[in-house]
Amino acid sequence: MERLLVFPQPFPDESLYSLTVRYHRMMANDSYRLTSQELFGTYSRTCGSILPCCLDALSKRLAGLYSVAELIDRSTLLPLYQPFLDDAAYESAKVTMAGNRGTGLKMSLGITASRFLKHASFRYCESCLHEDSERFGVAYWHRIHLSPGTCVCPHHDEVLCSLTFPHGSDWRCMLLPGESGGTPVMESYGDKAAGTVAEMQLWGLEHPSSVRGLLNGDFLRHRLAELGFIKSGRISEKILRPFLIERLKHCPNINEFQEVTHSCDWVLRMLHPRGLIVQPLKFYLLCWLLEARLSELQSFHPPAEVGNAYVPRRNNMNKTLHDADLEAHRSAFLSDSNSKCHDKPHYHWLYRHDREWLKEYVISHPFMRSRKSLIDWEARDTALTYNLLIANEKIMSTSGKPQKITRSLLVRQIDQSHDFLRRPSKFPKSISLMNGLLESDHDHQIRKVRWAVKNFLLSERCATSVVLRYSGIRKPHVTETEILNILSTTKLSW
Protein backbone atom coordinates (compact mmCIF):
# COMPACT_ATOMS: atom_id res chain seq x y z
CA MET A 1 0.00 0.00 0.00
CA GLU A 2 1.37 3.39 -1.02
CA ARG A 3 2.47 5.52 1.90
CA LEU A 4 1.43 9.18 2.24
CA LEU A 5 4.39 11.52 2.35
CA VAL A 6 2.32 14.60 3.14
CA PHE A 7 -0.55 14.94 5.61
CA PRO A 8 -1.71 18.01 7.60
CA GLN A 9 -1.17 18.22 11.34
CA PRO A 10 -4.60 18.00 13.05
CA PHE A 11 -5.78 21.12 14.85
CA PRO A 12 -7.68 20.98 18.18
CA ASP A 13 -11.13 19.41 17.69
CA GLU A 14 -10.68 19.23 13.90
CA SER A 15 -12.94 16.83 12.01
CA LEU A 16 -11.63 14.26 9.57
CA TYR A 17 -13.45 16.01 6.73
CA SER A 18 -11.58 19.22 7.54
CA LEU A 19 -8.26 17.32 7.43
CA THR A 20 -9.28 15.89 4.06
CA VAL A 21 -10.04 19.35 2.68
CA ARG A 22 -6.67 20.66 3.81
CA TYR A 23 -4.87 17.66 2.31
CA HIS A 24 -6.83 18.18 -0.92
CA ARG A 25 -5.48 21.73 -1.17
CA MET A 26 -1.95 20.84 -0.16
CA MET A 27 -1.81 18.34 -3.02
CA ALA A 28 -3.64 20.69 -5.42
CA ASN A 29 -5.96 17.87 -6.51
CA ASP A 30 -8.66 18.77 -8.99
CA SER A 31 -11.39 16.47 -7.60
CA TYR A 32 -12.47 14.81 -4.41
CA ARG A 33 -12.39 11.42 -6.15
CA LEU A 34 -8.61 11.68 -6.55
CA THR A 35 -8.17 12.81 -2.95
CA SER A 36 -10.31 9.94 -1.68
CA GLN A 37 -8.29 7.39 -3.64
CA GLU A 38 -5.03 8.76 -2.21
CA LEU A 39 -6.24 8.82 1.41
CA PHE A 40 -8.54 5.80 1.62
CA GLY A 41 -7.68 3.70 -1.40
CA THR A 42 -11.29 3.90 -2.56
CA TYR A 43 -14.01 6.42 -3.36
CA SER A 44 -15.39 6.97 0.14
CA ARG A 45 -18.87 8.52 0.34
CA THR A 46 -18.66 8.89 4.14
CA CYS A 47 -15.80 11.37 4.41
CA GLY A 48 -18.19 14.26 5.02
CA SER A 49 -20.09 12.31 7.67
CA ILE A 50 -19.79 12.73 11.43
CA LEU A 51 -18.90 9.00 11.49
CA PRO A 52 -16.56 8.45 8.50
CA CYS A 53 -15.30 5.04 7.40
CA CYS A 54 -12.16 3.67 5.69
CA LEU A 55 -10.04 4.69 8.68
CA ASP A 56 -7.96 1.51 8.67
CA ALA A 57 -6.76 2.25 5.13
CA LEU A 58 -5.92 5.84 6.10
CA SER A 59 -4.00 4.68 9.18
CA LYS A 60 -1.94 2.25 7.09
CA ARG A 61 -1.15 4.95 4.51
CA LEU A 62 0.10 7.12 7.37
CA ALA A 63 2.43 4.27 8.40
CA GLY A 64 0.91 4.06 11.85
CA LEU A 65 1.35 7.77 12.63
CA TYR A 66 -2.26 7.69 13.85
CA SER A 67 -3.96 4.44 14.76
CA VAL A 68 -7.61 3.81 13.94
CA ALA A 69 -8.53 4.38 17.58
CA GLU A 70 -6.69 7.71 17.61
CA LEU A 71 -8.40 8.85 14.42
CA ILE A 72 -11.78 7.95 15.87
CA ASP A 73 -11.13 9.64 19.22
CA ARG A 74 -9.55 12.81 17.79
CA SER A 75 -11.36 13.40 14.49
CA THR A 76 -14.86 11.87 14.66
CA LEU A 77 -17.96 12.20 16.84
CA LEU A 78 -18.08 8.56 17.97
CA PRO A 79 -16.68 9.52 21.44
CA LEU A 80 -19.83 11.62 21.91
CA TYR A 81 -21.93 8.44 21.56
CA GLN A 82 -19.55 6.10 23.36
CA PRO A 83 -20.97 6.49 26.91
CA PHE A 84 -24.46 5.56 25.68
CA LEU A 85 -23.34 2.33 23.99
CA ASP A 86 -22.49 -1.01 25.52
CA ASP A 87 -19.05 -2.42 24.82
CA ALA A 88 -20.27 -4.71 22.02
CA ALA A 89 -22.06 -1.90 20.15
CA TYR A 90 -19.10 0.45 20.53
CA GLU A 91 -16.60 -2.10 19.25
CA SER A 92 -18.92 -2.92 16.35
CA ALA A 93 -19.08 0.79 15.43
CA LYS A 94 -15.28 1.04 15.51
CA VAL A 95 -14.95 -2.01 13.24
CA THR A 96 -17.44 -0.49 10.80
CA MET A 97 -15.58 2.83 10.74
CA ALA A 98 -12.29 1.02 10.18
CA GLY A 99 -13.71 -0.83 7.17
CA ASN A 100 -14.80 0.57 3.85
CA ARG A 101 -18.57 0.03 4.23
CA GLY A 102 -20.57 2.26 6.57
CA THR A 103 -24.01 0.93 5.65
CA GLY A 104 -26.29 0.77 8.70
CA LEU A 105 -23.88 2.46 11.12
CA LYS A 106 -26.08 5.46 11.90
CA MET A 107 -29.12 3.23 12.05
CA SER A 108 -27.46 0.94 14.59
CA LEU A 109 -26.64 3.96 16.79
CA GLY A 110 -30.24 5.24 16.68
CA ILE A 111 -29.26 8.40 14.77
CA THR A 112 -31.52 7.63 11.82
CA ALA A 113 -34.54 6.90 14.03
CA SER A 114 -33.99 10.15 15.96
CA ARG A 115 -34.75 12.18 12.78
CA PHE A 116 -31.86 14.53 13.60
CA LEU A 117 -30.12 13.86 10.28
CA LYS A 118 -32.63 15.88 8.27
CA HIS A 119 -31.47 18.99 10.15
CA ALA A 120 -27.75 18.28 9.70
CA SER A 121 -25.56 20.91 8.05
CA PHE A 122 -21.97 22.12 8.00
CA ARG A 123 -21.91 24.69 10.80
CA TYR A 124 -19.25 27.09 11.94
CA CYS A 125 -18.78 29.96 14.38
CA GLU A 126 -17.76 33.38 13.08
CA SER A 127 -15.58 34.04 16.12
CA CYS A 128 -13.89 30.63 15.83
CA LEU A 129 -13.31 31.34 12.14
CA HIS A 130 -11.40 34.55 12.91
CA GLU A 131 -9.48 33.08 15.86
CA ASP A 132 -8.45 29.99 13.90
CA SER A 133 -7.31 32.13 10.97
CA GLU A 134 -5.14 34.27 13.26
CA ARG A 135 -3.79 31.35 15.27
CA PHE A 136 -3.30 28.65 12.62
CA GLY A 137 -3.49 30.63 9.41
CA VAL A 138 -6.62 28.81 8.22
CA ALA A 139 -10.18 28.20 9.42
CA TYR A 140 -11.29 24.60 9.86
CA TRP A 141 -14.33 22.50 10.72
CA HIS A 142 -14.76 21.83 14.45
CA ARG A 143 -16.24 18.46 15.43
CA ILE A 144 -18.45 19.93 18.12
CA HIS A 145 -20.05 22.37 15.67
CA LEU A 146 -21.14 19.41 13.51
CA SER A 147 -22.70 17.38 16.32
CA PRO A 148 -26.52 17.00 16.26
CA GLY A 149 -28.18 19.61 18.45
CA THR A 150 -25.21 22.01 18.64
CA CYS A 151 -26.63 25.30 17.38
CA VAL A 152 -24.51 27.56 19.58
CA CYS A 153 -20.73 27.69 19.83
CA PRO A 154 -19.75 26.41 23.29
CA HIS A 155 -16.60 28.55 23.21
CA HIS A 156 -18.12 31.94 22.32
CA ASP A 157 -21.83 31.47 23.09
CA GLU A 158 -22.69 32.60 19.54
CA VAL A 159 -25.28 31.17 17.17
CA LEU A 160 -23.62 29.01 14.53
CA CYS A 161 -23.88 29.63 10.79
CA SER A 162 -24.73 26.96 8.24
CA LEU A 163 -22.61 26.89 5.08
CA THR A 164 -24.44 26.92 1.75
CA PHE A 165 -22.46 25.05 -0.89
CA PRO A 166 -22.46 26.89 -4.24
CA HIS A 167 -24.46 25.83 -7.31
CA GLY A 168 -26.37 23.11 -5.46
CA SER A 169 -23.23 21.05 -4.78
CA ASP A 170 -22.38 19.21 -1.57
CA TRP A 171 -19.37 18.67 0.70
CA ARG A 172 -17.38 17.12 -2.17
CA CYS A 173 -16.59 20.59 -3.49
CA MET A 174 -14.08 20.70 -0.59
CA LEU A 175 -14.70 24.03 1.18
CA LEU A 176 -13.64 25.33 4.58
CA PRO A 177 -15.76 27.55 6.86
CA GLY A 178 -16.51 31.03 5.55
CA GLU A 179 -15.61 30.25 1.93
CA SER A 180 -19.23 30.34 0.82
CA GLY A 181 -22.37 32.02 2.02
CA GLY A 182 -23.68 31.09 5.45
CA THR A 183 -26.91 31.71 7.34
CA PRO A 184 -27.51 31.58 11.12
CA VAL A 185 -29.15 28.32 12.15
CA MET A 186 -31.41 30.20 14.59
CA GLU A 187 -32.29 33.75 15.50
CA SER A 188 -32.07 33.35 19.26
CA TYR A 189 -31.77 30.41 21.60
CA GLY A 190 -34.01 31.39 24.53
CA ASP A 191 -33.12 30.95 28.19
CA LYS A 192 -29.65 29.55 27.39
CA ALA A 193 -31.00 26.05 26.69
CA ALA A 194 -29.10 25.65 23.40
CA GLY A 195 -25.94 27.20 24.85
CA THR A 196 -25.96 24.97 27.91
CA VAL A 197 -26.57 21.86 25.84
CA ALA A 198 -23.68 22.80 23.53
CA GLU A 199 -21.33 23.20 26.51
CA MET A 200 -22.40 19.84 27.91
CA GLN A 201 -21.92 18.13 24.55
CA LEU A 202 -18.42 19.56 24.23
CA TRP A 203 -17.56 18.28 27.70
CA GLY A 204 -19.10 14.89 26.87
CA LEU A 205 -17.13 14.69 23.63
CA GLU A 206 -13.88 15.33 25.47
CA HIS A 207 -14.66 13.24 28.57
CA PRO A 208 -16.68 10.15 27.55
CA SER A 209 -15.53 8.19 30.60
CA SER A 210 -16.91 10.88 32.92
CA VAL A 211 -20.26 10.74 31.13
CA ARG A 212 -20.26 6.97 31.54
CA GLY A 213 -19.78 7.59 35.26
CA LEU A 214 -22.92 9.77 35.26
CA LEU A 215 -24.91 7.00 33.64
CA ASN A 216 -23.57 4.27 35.91
CA GLY A 217 -24.27 6.45 38.93
CA ASP A 218 -27.90 7.11 37.87
CA PHE A 219 -27.34 10.86 37.75
CA LEU A 220 -30.76 11.58 36.23
CA ARG A 221 -32.65 9.63 38.89
CA HIS A 222 -30.67 11.29 41.65
CA ARG A 223 -31.54 14.63 40.09
CA LEU A 224 -35.21 13.66 39.94
CA ALA A 225 -35.05 12.71 43.61
CA GLU A 226 -33.50 16.07 44.51
CA LEU A 227 -36.33 17.87 42.73
CA GLY A 228 -38.95 15.76 44.49
CA PHE A 229 -40.15 13.78 41.46
CA ILE A 230 -39.50 10.35 42.99
CA LYS A 231 -41.98 9.06 45.52
CA SER A 232 -41.52 5.69 47.25
CA GLY A 233 -38.78 4.80 44.80
CA ARG A 234 -40.92 5.48 41.71
CA ILE A 235 -41.00 8.40 39.29
CA SER A 236 -44.15 10.46 39.79
CA GLU A 237 -45.19 11.24 36.22
CA LYS A 238 -48.18 13.22 37.46
CA ILE A 239 -46.00 16.04 38.81
CA LEU A 240 -43.06 15.53 36.43
CA ARG A 241 -45.02 16.07 33.20
CA PRO A 242 -46.25 19.63 33.96
CA PHE A 243 -42.74 20.61 35.05
CA LEU A 244 -41.19 19.30 31.82
CA ILE A 245 -43.87 20.88 29.62
CA GLU A 246 -43.22 24.27 31.18
CA ARG A 247 -39.45 23.91 30.78
CA LEU A 248 -39.77 22.82 27.15
CA LYS A 249 -41.48 26.12 26.36
CA HIS A 250 -38.12 27.84 26.92
CA CYS A 251 -36.28 25.63 24.41
CA PRO A 252 -35.74 26.63 20.79
CA ASN A 253 -38.25 25.08 18.45
CA ILE A 254 -36.07 24.85 15.35
CA ASN A 255 -33.52 22.45 13.87
CA GLU A 256 -32.98 19.29 15.92
CA PHE A 257 -34.79 20.74 18.93
CA GLN A 258 -38.16 20.68 17.19
CA GLU A 259 -37.94 16.87 17.22
CA VAL A 260 -37.94 16.81 21.04
CA THR A 261 -39.77 19.94 22.19
CA HIS A 262 -43.25 19.04 20.91
CA SER A 263 -43.77 16.47 23.67
CA CYS A 264 -42.18 15.16 26.86
CA ASP A 265 -42.95 11.50 26.15
CA TRP A 266 -39.36 10.92 25.02
CA VAL A 267 -38.19 11.86 28.53
CA LEU A 268 -40.18 9.05 30.12
CA ARG A 269 -38.98 6.58 27.49
CA MET A 270 -35.40 7.66 28.15
CA LEU A 271 -35.78 7.16 31.90
CA HIS A 272 -36.89 3.60 31.13
CA PRO A 273 -34.70 2.88 28.07
CA ARG A 274 -35.34 -0.90 27.84
CA GLY A 275 -32.33 -1.43 25.62
CA LEU A 276 -32.83 1.63 23.41
CA ILE A 277 -29.79 3.76 22.60
CA VAL A 278 -30.05 7.23 24.14
CA GLN A 279 -29.06 10.11 21.87
CA PRO A 280 -26.52 12.51 23.45
CA LEU A 281 -28.68 15.55 22.62
CA LYS A 282 -31.63 14.08 24.51
CA PHE A 283 -29.51 13.23 27.54
CA TYR A 284 -27.94 16.69 27.84
CA LEU A 285 -31.24 18.45 27.09
CA LEU A 286 -32.88 16.44 29.86
CA CYS A 287 -30.08 17.52 32.20
CA TRP A 288 -30.95 21.13 31.35
CA LEU A 289 -34.68 20.45 31.77
CA LEU A 290 -33.92 19.18 35.28
CA GLU A 291 -32.08 22.46 35.98
CA ALA A 292 -28.65 20.81 36.09
CA ARG A 293 -25.58 22.84 35.17
CA LEU A 294 -22.36 21.64 33.59
CA SER A 295 -20.51 22.12 36.87
CA GLU A 296 -22.92 19.69 38.55
CA LEU A 297 -22.25 17.07 35.89
CA GLN A 298 -18.52 17.52 36.33
CA SER A 299 -18.61 17.25 40.13
CA PHE A 300 -21.20 14.47 40.46
CA HIS A 301 -20.39 11.58 42.76
CA PRO A 302 -23.14 9.04 43.63
CA PRO A 303 -23.96 9.73 47.31
CA ALA A 304 -24.39 6.98 49.85
CA GLU A 305 -28.14 6.95 50.35
CA VAL A 306 -29.71 6.13 53.71
CA GLY A 307 -33.18 6.06 55.17
CA ASN A 308 -36.01 6.81 52.75
CA ALA A 309 -33.83 8.61 50.22
CA TYR A 310 -33.53 7.32 46.70
CA VAL A 311 -31.31 4.30 46.15
CA PRO A 312 -30.45 3.29 42.55
CA ARG A 313 -32.10 0.06 41.48
CA ARG A 314 -29.40 -2.55 41.40
CA ASN A 315 -29.64 -6.19 42.20
CA ASN A 316 -26.90 -6.06 44.85
CA MET A 317 -27.59 -8.25 47.87
CA ASN A 318 -26.38 -7.12 51.27
CA LYS A 319 -24.41 -10.11 52.53
CA THR A 320 -24.17 -8.77 56.10
CA LEU A 321 -27.90 -8.85 56.82
CA HIS A 322 -28.88 -11.08 59.75
CA ASP A 323 -31.60 -13.70 59.45
CA ALA A 324 -33.54 -11.94 62.20
CA ASP A 325 -33.63 -8.70 60.19
CA LEU A 326 -34.80 -10.54 57.09
CA GLU A 327 -37.54 -12.32 58.99
CA ALA A 328 -38.71 -9.08 60.58
CA HIS A 329 -39.06 -7.34 57.24
CA ARG A 330 -40.68 -10.37 55.63
CA SER A 331 -43.17 -10.73 58.48
CA ALA A 332 -44.14 -7.07 58.26
CA PHE A 333 -44.61 -7.47 54.52
CA LEU A 334 -46.78 -10.58 54.91
CA SER A 335 -48.87 -9.07 57.71
CA ASP A 336 -50.78 -6.91 55.22
CA SER A 337 -52.93 -9.22 53.11
CA ASN A 338 -55.24 -6.60 51.63
CA SER A 339 -52.89 -4.13 49.92
CA LYS A 340 -51.29 -4.50 46.53
CA CYS A 341 -47.79 -5.91 46.53
CA HIS A 342 -45.89 -2.63 46.11
CA ASP A 343 -48.11 -0.94 48.73
CA LYS A 344 -47.31 -3.44 51.46
CA PRO A 345 -45.00 -2.32 54.29
CA HIS A 346 -41.26 -2.87 53.78
CA TYR A 347 -41.74 -3.60 50.06
CA HIS A 348 -38.98 -1.20 49.01
CA TRP A 349 -36.58 -2.53 51.62
CA LEU A 350 -37.14 -6.08 50.39
CA TYR A 351 -36.76 -4.94 46.78
CA ARG A 352 -33.31 -3.57 47.57
CA HIS A 353 -32.00 -6.21 49.97
CA ASP A 354 -34.03 -9.41 49.52
CA ARG A 355 -35.14 -9.27 45.90
CA GLU A 356 -34.97 -13.02 45.20
CA TRP A 357 -37.41 -13.81 48.02
CA LEU A 358 -39.69 -10.98 46.90
CA LYS A 359 -39.59 -12.23 43.30
CA GLU A 360 -40.63 -15.73 44.38
CA TYR A 361 -43.48 -14.28 46.46
CA VAL A 362 -44.79 -12.23 43.52
CA ILE A 363 -44.68 -15.25 41.19
CA SER A 364 -46.58 -17.44 43.67
CA HIS A 365 -49.14 -14.71 44.50
CA PRO A 366 -50.21 -13.19 41.18
CA PHE A 367 -52.46 -10.18 41.44
CA MET A 368 -55.82 -10.81 39.83
CA ARG A 369 -57.56 -7.58 38.96
CA SER A 370 -61.32 -7.78 39.46
CA ARG A 371 -63.16 -6.16 36.62
CA LYS A 372 -66.67 -5.01 37.36
CA SER A 373 -68.78 -4.51 34.29
CA LEU A 374 -69.92 -0.92 33.85
CA ILE A 375 -72.77 -1.93 31.51
CA ASP A 376 -76.01 -3.66 32.53
CA TRP A 377 -76.13 -6.10 29.65
CA GLU A 378 -79.26 -7.84 30.94
CA ALA A 379 -81.23 -4.61 30.91
CA ARG A 380 -80.00 -3.87 27.41
CA ASP A 381 -81.02 -7.35 26.30
CA THR A 382 -84.55 -6.93 27.69
CA ALA A 383 -84.97 -3.52 26.07
CA LEU A 384 -83.74 -4.89 22.76
CA THR A 385 -86.27 -7.74 22.75
CA TYR A 386 -89.05 -5.19 23.16
CA ASN A 387 -87.67 -3.12 20.27
CA LEU A 388 -87.43 -6.22 18.08
CA LEU A 389 -91.10 -7.02 18.64
CA ILE A 390 -92.07 -3.46 17.72
CA ALA A 391 -89.86 -3.61 14.62
CA ASN A 392 -91.45 -6.92 13.55
CA GLU A 393 -94.97 -5.51 14.02
CA LYS A 394 -94.04 -2.43 12.02
CA ILE A 395 -92.74 -4.52 9.11
CA MET A 396 -95.78 -6.79 9.11
CA SER A 397 -98.19 -3.84 9.08
CA THR A 398 -96.46 -1.98 6.26
CA SER A 399 -98.74 -1.51 3.21
CA GLY A 400 -97.62 -2.72 -0.19
CA LYS A 401 -95.91 -5.92 -1.24
CA PRO A 402 -94.70 -7.80 1.86
CA GLN A 403 -91.00 -7.60 2.68
CA LYS A 404 -89.15 -10.67 3.84
CA ILE A 405 -88.27 -10.42 7.52
CA THR A 406 -84.46 -10.77 7.68
CA ARG A 407 -81.81 -9.85 10.24
CA SER A 408 -80.71 -6.78 8.32
CA LEU A 409 -84.33 -5.54 7.91
CA LEU A 410 -85.03 -5.91 11.63
CA VAL A 411 -81.74 -4.24 12.61
CA ARG A 412 -82.46 -1.26 10.35
CA GLN A 413 -85.63 -0.62 12.33
CA ILE A 414 -83.67 -0.38 15.62
CA ASP A 415 -81.66 2.78 16.32
CA GLN A 416 -77.97 2.26 17.16
CA SER A 417 -78.38 -1.39 18.20
CA HIS A 418 -76.71 -3.18 15.31
CA ASP A 419 -73.68 -3.99 17.49
CA PHE A 420 -75.59 -6.69 19.36
CA LEU A 421 -75.10 -9.09 16.43
CA ARG A 422 -71.35 -8.91 17.09
CA ARG A 423 -71.83 -9.78 20.77
CA PRO A 424 -74.32 -12.65 20.83
CA SER A 425 -73.19 -13.77 24.29
CA LYS A 426 -74.34 -10.42 25.74
CA PHE A 427 -77.85 -10.59 24.18
CA PRO A 428 -79.10 -14.20 24.52
CA LYS A 429 -82.83 -13.32 24.70
CA SER A 430 -82.64 -10.91 21.77
CA ILE A 431 -80.78 -13.39 19.57
CA SER A 432 -83.27 -16.15 20.44
CA LEU A 433 -86.25 -13.88 19.68
CA MET A 434 -84.74 -12.70 16.40
CA ASN A 435 -84.16 -16.28 15.24
CA GLY A 436 -87.84 -16.96 15.88
CA LEU A 437 -88.96 -13.87 13.95
CA LEU A 438 -86.95 -14.58 10.83
CA GLU A 439 -88.96 -15.69 7.80
CA SER A 440 -88.18 -18.59 5.50
CA ASP A 441 -88.70 -18.34 1.74
CA HIS A 442 -91.84 -20.47 2.08
CA ASP A 443 -93.41 -18.32 4.79
CA HIS A 444 -92.59 -15.14 2.89
CA GLN A 445 -94.21 -16.45 -0.31
CA ILE A 446 -97.35 -17.47 1.60
CA ARG A 447 -97.69 -13.84 2.77
CA LYS A 448 -97.09 -12.58 -0.75
CA VAL A 449 -99.80 -14.88 -2.17
CA ARG A 450 -102.29 -13.72 0.46
CA TRP A 451 -101.44 -10.12 -0.27
CA ALA A 452 -101.90 -10.60 -4.07
CA VAL A 453 -105.21 -12.48 -3.70
CA LYS A 454 -106.60 -9.82 -1.42
CA ASN A 455 -105.14 -6.81 -3.27
CA PHE A 456 -106.14 -7.95 -6.80
CA LEU A 457 -109.38 -9.78 -5.80
CA LEU A 458 -108.29 -13.05 -7.38
CA SER A 459 -110.92 -15.82 -7.53
CA GLU A 460 -110.68 -19.62 -7.30
CA ARG A 461 -110.94 -19.84 -11.07
CA CYS A 462 -107.55 -18.08 -11.49
CA ALA A 463 -104.71 -20.27 -12.64
CA THR A 464 -101.83 -20.86 -10.26
CA SER A 465 -99.46 -19.13 -12.70
CA VAL A 466 -101.60 -15.97 -12.56
CA VAL A 467 -101.45 -15.90 -8.79
CA LEU A 468 -97.68 -16.37 -8.84
CA ARG A 469 -97.26 -13.56 -11.36
CA TYR A 470 -99.36 -11.10 -9.32
CA SER A 471 -97.43 -12.16 -6.20
CA GLY A 472 -94.07 -11.48 -7.86
CA ILE A 473 -92.85 -15.05 -7.30
CA ARG A 474 -90.43 -16.46 -9.87
CA LYS A 475 -89.18 -19.54 -8.09
CA PRO A 476 -92.07 -20.93 -6.06
CA HIS A 477 -91.57 -22.49 -2.64
CA VAL A 478 -95.34 -22.95 -2.18
CA THR A 479 -97.46 -25.81 -3.54
CA GLU A 480 -100.53 -25.52 -5.74
CA THR A 481 -102.66 -26.92 -2.92
CA GLU A 482 -101.53 -24.13 -0.58
CA ILE A 483 -102.40 -21.51 -3.20
CA LEU A 484 -105.91 -23.00 -3.73
CA ASN A 485 -106.48 -23.06 0.04
CA ILE A 486 -105.50 -19.38 0.25
CA LEU A 487 -107.87 -18.53 -2.62
CA SER A 488 -110.79 -20.33 -0.99
CA THR A 489 -110.04 -18.98 2.47
CA THR A 490 -109.74 -15.42 1.19
CA LYS A 491 -113.06 -15.76 -0.73
CA LEU A 492 -114.83 -16.89 2.41
CA SER A 493 -113.45 -13.86 4.26
CA TRP A 494 -115.03 -11.56 1.72
Angle between helices 237-248 and 280-289 (to 10 degrees): 100
Report the pLDDT value the prediction gives residue 49, as an integer from 0 to 100.
93
* Residue 291 included in any domain: yes
Out of 414, 439, 464, a domain closes at 439
Q: pTM higher than 0.85 for the full model?
A: no
Report the pLDDT value the prediction gives residue 370, as an integer from 0 to 100.
63
Measure the CA–CA gap between 284 and 229, rounded to whole angstroms. Answer: 19
Count of structural domains, the chain: 4
3-state SS assignment for residue 104: coil
Q: Same domain, yes or no, for 208 and 252?
A: yes
Contact status, residue 476 vs residue 465, Cβ threshold 8 Å = no
Q: Same domain, yes or no, for 197 and 290?
A: yes
Q: Same domain, yes or no, for 396 and 346?
A: no
Q: Same domain, yes or no, for 450 and 420?
A: no
Q: Same domain, yes or no, for 223 and 288?
A: yes
* Residue 59 included in any domain: no
Q: Same domain, yes or no, for 217 and 246?
A: yes
Q: Same domain, yes or no, for 198 and 274?
A: yes
* Residue 214 included in any domain: yes
* Residue 165 included in any domain: no
Q: Same domain, yes or no, for 471 and 416?
A: no
* Residue 182 included in any domain: no
Q: Same domain, yes or no, for 198 and 288?
A: yes
* Residue 16 included in any domain: no
Q: Same domain, yes or no, for 201 and 255?
A: yes
Q: Same domain, yes or no, for 351 and 415?
A: no
Q: Strands of 419-482 (E only): list them.
A: none
Report the pLDDT value the prediction gives residue 315, as an integer from 0 to 100.
41
Mean pLDDT of residues grouped by 10 in the chain (494 residues)?
86 96 94 94 92 94 92 96 93 93 89 91 96 95 95 93 91 93 81 88 96 92 90 88 92 89 89 81 95 93 52 43 79 83 82 84 74 78 90 90 90 75 86 92 92 86 88 91 85 52
- DSSP H helical ranges for 249-346: 265-271, 280-289, 294-298, 323-335
H or E segment at 390?
Answer: helix 377-396
Report the pLDDT value the prediction gives residue 313, as an integer from 0 to 100.
41
Q: Which domain holds residue 337?
A: 323-364
